Structure 1
Amino acid sequence: MARTESNMLPLGTKAPDFNIIDTLDNTKKSLSELKGITGTLVMFICNHCPFVIHVSTELSQLAKDYVSKGINCIAISSNDAENYPQDRPELMAKYAIDNDYIFPYLYDQTQEVAKAYDAACTPDFFLFDSNLKLVYTGQLDDSRPGNGKPVTGEDLRAAMTALVNKEAVNPDQKPSMGCGIKWV
């Protein structure tokens, strides 16, 4: 299991826009139409990564806990689906349904969105405020497959709660870690 750390895009960075396919309904969706009133969480994930599988239940719960507070969640897979067929769009849609995702699961076929966000691993998290300025980029929590620590979402939840409460997000952020994005 490869361990790749996120690149930690500088805080304050404006969220790059995109217009890519939502695997659940096969329509193109843009950041401008999916963004939340309070904030927007962009997550780079995939179907087969053990790190994503390990936190999938928490990702589903996180969205359920914060969408009513104005933070919309968006998942994107940028993996090369030809060489990693588990990450094909039709299987992404099934994965989203099986994991009770209430957020769109988008396919970045050209990998341009991942490059624009400087995404490096799955999962990789980017939390933006209401003006689409980056306030958090880092880990979900300290749990990793096999390390015995429970999945709590503690780090990301603290940032999301601060955003909801109009408080400063702690700038001391630990990189996310997971499988490297499967580049073409």
Structure 2
Amino acid sequence: MANTPSNMLPLGSKAADFELFDTVSGKKLSLAQLKGVNGTVLFFICNHCPFVIHVNKELVRIANEYRSKGISFIAISSNDVEHYPQDGPELMKKKALDVGYPFPYLYDKTQEVAKAYDAACTPDTYLFDENLNLVYRGQIDDSRPGNDLPLTGSDLRNALDHLVHQKGIVENQKPSMGCNIKWK
């Protein structure tokens, strides 16, 4: 299990546009179609990473809680499926349905979207405001597989609350930690 940190894209960065295949609906979906009224969260995740498996239920809880507040959630997998077939589109759909993702699970076959966001690990989390300007990037919370800290989503929830209640940008932002994206 690799411990790869986020690259921490500069705050204020504009969200890179994309159109990717949604493994659940079978449709191509764009950022413009999916963005939220008040904000948009992008998760770079994959099926097999122990860090993602550890946080999956919390991602679902957070998305279910904040969707009613005008926040949209999007998950993207950019892993090389030739060498990591467990992260392929068919198994992504199965994972999304099994876990109950209340958000699209998009397949970044060319890895161009991950590169555009300077994504480094899974999970890698980005929160954009209503104008698609980056206001948070980093960890969901301090919990990691095996460290016995409770999984609360506190860091991401704090950033979401700051955005929803227009309190400005959270000052203390820690990088996420996880498996490295499996580049081609």
**Which TM-score tier does this pair reach, normalised by the shorter chain?**
over 0.9
Q: Equivalent residue for 1:156?
A: 156
More deviation, 167-176/123-132 = 167-176
What is the RMSD computed on CA atoms of the aligned residues? 0.5
Aligned partner of residue 143 in structure 2, secondary structure = coil
CA distance in 2, matches of 1:64, 1:172: 25
CA distance in 1, matches of 2:65, 2:52: 19
Matches within 5 A, 1:47-86: 47-86=47-86
Matches within 5 A, 1:112-131: 112-131=112-131
CA distance in 1, matches of 2:5, 2:102: 27
CA distance in 2, matches of 1:63, 1:81: 26
Aligned partner of residue 159 in structure 2, secondary structure = helix
Shift of 1:169: 2.2
Q: Deviations over 1:85-105 (max 9, x none)?
A: 110101001100111101000
TM-score by length of 1: 0.99
Q: Equivalent residue for 1:16?
A: 16
Q: Which consecutive aligned stretches of 4+ in structure 1 deviate over 6 angstroms post-superposition?
A: none
CA distance in 2, matches of 1:139, 1:13: 18
Q: Deviations over 1:140-161 (max 9, x none)?
A: 0000000000100000000001
Check whether the contact 1:136–1:171 (CA below 8 A) recurs between aligned residues: no
Shift of 1:171: 2.4
Aligned partner letter, 1:171: E
Check whether the contact 1:37–1:130 (CA below 8 A) recurs between aligned residues: yes
Matches within 5 A, 1:131-170: 131-170=131-170
Alignment coverage as a number of residue pairs: 184
Q: Equivalent residue for 1:110?
A: 110
CA distance in 2, matches of 1:154, 1:56: 15
CA distance in 2, matches of 1:129, 1:108: 23
